[in-house]
A and B are shown apart, each in its own frame.
Chain A
Amino acid sequence: MTKAPHISVQNLNVHIGNQHILKDININIPDKKVTSIIGPSGCGKTTLLKTFNRLVDNTPDVNITGKVLVDNENIYDPNVEITEIRKKMGLLSQRPYPLPMSIYDNIAYGPRIHGTIGKQELDVLVEQQLKATGLWNEVKDRLHNSATKLSIGQQQRLCLARGLAVDPEIILGDESTSALDPISTAIIEDLFITLKEKYTIVLVTHILRQARRVSDYIIFVYMGQIIEFGPTEEILLNPKEELTKEYIKGYIS
């Protein structure tokens, strides 16, 4: 890890109500790599992911302390423009949630709210992103049909394309393949591997095989704490911590 980290988390603590969800998180997410966050259900891995684009702000009774630096800018600074931070990060959630509009408008939505309104410009952008996610040939004849008519795998790729259309630097995936069939899962995983050339990717997953297939680094989270962080091979084959060993062997889940 010679390059500067893309996301740097410093002394991050998150409380929701009386519960201490994330405890003293310190982590550096490397630039233009795939980093997977693994850990048992309820360990706080999704919350951690959502602190990166401040979606966690919308949780009722949430209290956040500490810093998250993206490109050396603390995103929890009160003066920061939250929409600009979020624009830097595409989110791919567990299930695809296309916007209630056409395929074309789904992709054009982001660029439009950020000021790109020229029809030609948008046409180019829509085609480009649909090609980047391998959807173009499947949908080019029905761009103005409702996005909800697509299969769930296609919808997930559409959501990825929609996120890429705002030209982000980081892609956040929250168990993005958990609702998909094996073929769609493989397509999305391959996309992640291709996309890491241009983007920093952070994935939450509970599938160890997926973490092994796509990621360069792994963060193991347990009970709101980071137990171990390191290159994929090292974590999966030679974990240093006892808890990581037990998790990988399947004793704790």
Chain B
Amino acid sequence: MKKRKFEEWCVKVFMVLATIIVTGSFFLIVGTVFYKGFHYMNWDMITKTPSGGFYIGKAGGILNAIIGSLYVAGGATILGLVISIPVALYINLYLKSKLIYANTLRLVFDVLFGIPSIVYGAFGFLIMVYFGIRASLLGGIIAVTLLVIPILVRTLDEVIRTVPNELRDATLSLGATRWEVAKVILRQVRPGIFTAILLSFGRAIGDVASVLFTAGFSDNVPTSLHEPAATLPLAIFFQLGSSVEEVQGRGYASALILTIIVLIITVLSEILIKRFSKHKIQ
């Protein structure tokens, strides 16, 4: 009896410790970024583009990278959804009676999920060379879309799989076509779609390697898809690499801005998830 109690106590201590380590590192990371970057946060950072001499510590901000990142991550997530929703529906509605194909496709997306983003960057770069596209916003969006599609497909697939077969049967027996069933399923999983968007956007806005060759970097806010675009992770990378204290500080401020953007997106999707769960059957 004593041994069993002791065992439980040990495991519980381990669980608590692990939880403390995880939450501790969360606060440590956010705290460090905040502590190092807050001093350099000002309106100029988020409202101005780098002016001459920004990278040696003179005036300007990183509006170019903020807008660039939002464009790249937003564009890639939208484009990714347009491709991923049909794939996830196809796997679950049309390939359902041919399990072997469905599972092979799932395996393919699992493998794609595991491929490092630098590979997507390199692949995106090859596509760009082939079509003669220069490093640009479009190139960045293409590479990041490739990166987020596996995330979106697998998340949506898991969400759609939780829909009871009976809901599909109920809709079919009203004389619905499979596309009409798909629309009912999409209504049912709407909260899950926001989770997928959140995961995809978070990955897209924070990734450096995929945009390194493809989006390029520019001190201007891009005005067309064919112009190079700055991204926040790259801006952070460049600034932290500087030996000027002022510039390094702004690097942390940029990291803080990136964190805040991700936070806003998270809160927004939580609100949307709650809102659209209203009609969801349990």
Contact = CB atoms under 8 A, between A and B. Distances in A.
A100 B187 contact: yes
Nearest to B164: A97
Given A60-B96, A99-B167, A83 B279 contact: no
Given A58-B97, A61-B99, A101 B174 contact: no
Interface centre among B174, B180, B280 (most CB of A within 10 A): B174
B106 interface: no
B172 A86 contact: yes
B98 interface: yes
B82 to A, nearest CB: 23
Interface in B249-282: 278-282
Interface of A: 53, 55, 57-62, 83-84, 86-87, 89-91, 93-95, 97-102, 109-110, 113-114, 146-148, 159, 162-163, 166, 172
B97 A61 contact: yes
Contacts of B282: 148
A84 B175 contact: yes
Nearest to B175: A87
Contacts, number: 87
Contacts of B177: 83, 113
Nearest to B188: A100
Contact of A87 (B99, B174, B184, B278): B174
A84 B177 CA distance: 10
Contacts of B168: 58
B186 to A, nearest CB: 9
B169 interface: yes
Contacts of A93: 166, 169-170
B244 interface: no
Contacts of B96: 58, 60
In the complex, the 4 A-B pairs of residues with the closest C-beta atoms, listed nearest first:
A87-B175, A91-B173, A110-B174, A100-B279
Contact of B279 (A58, A114, A147): A147
Nearest to B187: A100
A62 B278 CA distance: 36
A57 B97 contact: yes
B171 interface: yes
Interface centre among B164, B170, B280, B282 (most CB of A within 10 A): B170
B92 to A, nearest CB: 11
Contact of A59 (B97, B171, B278): B97
Nearest to A99: B184
A55 B170 CA distance: 10
B28 interface: no
Contacts of A109: 171, 174
A166 B175 CA distance: 8
Contact of B167 (A94, A97, A172): A97
Interface size class of B (residues with CB under 8 A): 20 to 34
Interface of B: 96-99, 164-177, 180, 184, 187-188, 278-282
Nearest to A84: B175
A37 to B, nearest CB: 17
A148 B280 contact: yes
A3 to B, nearest CB: 25
Nearest to B281: A148
A102 B187 CA distance: 12
17 contacts: A55-B173, A58-B96, A60-B97, A86-B175, A90-B173, A93-B169, A97-B166, A97-B167, A99-B167, A101-B279, A110-B174, A113-B174, A146-B278, A147-B279, A159-B170, A162-B174, A163-B174
Nearest to B186: A100
B170 A97 contact: yes
Contacts of A97: 164, 166-167, 170, 281
Contacts of B280: 100, 148
B176 A83 contact: yes
Contacts of B175: 83-84, 86-87, 110, 113-114, 166
A99 B177 CA distance: 15
A95 B184 CA distance: 18
Contact of A55 (B167, B172, B184): B172
Contact of A62 (B97, B173, B174, B176): B97
Nearest to A114: B175
B184 A100 contact: yes
Contacts of A83: 175-177
A97 B280 CA distance: 11
A188 to B, nearest CB: 16
Contacts of A87: 174-175
A66 B99 CA distance: 24
A53 B170 CA distance: 11
A199 to B, nearest CB: 14
Contacts of A102: 279
Contacts of A147: 279, 281
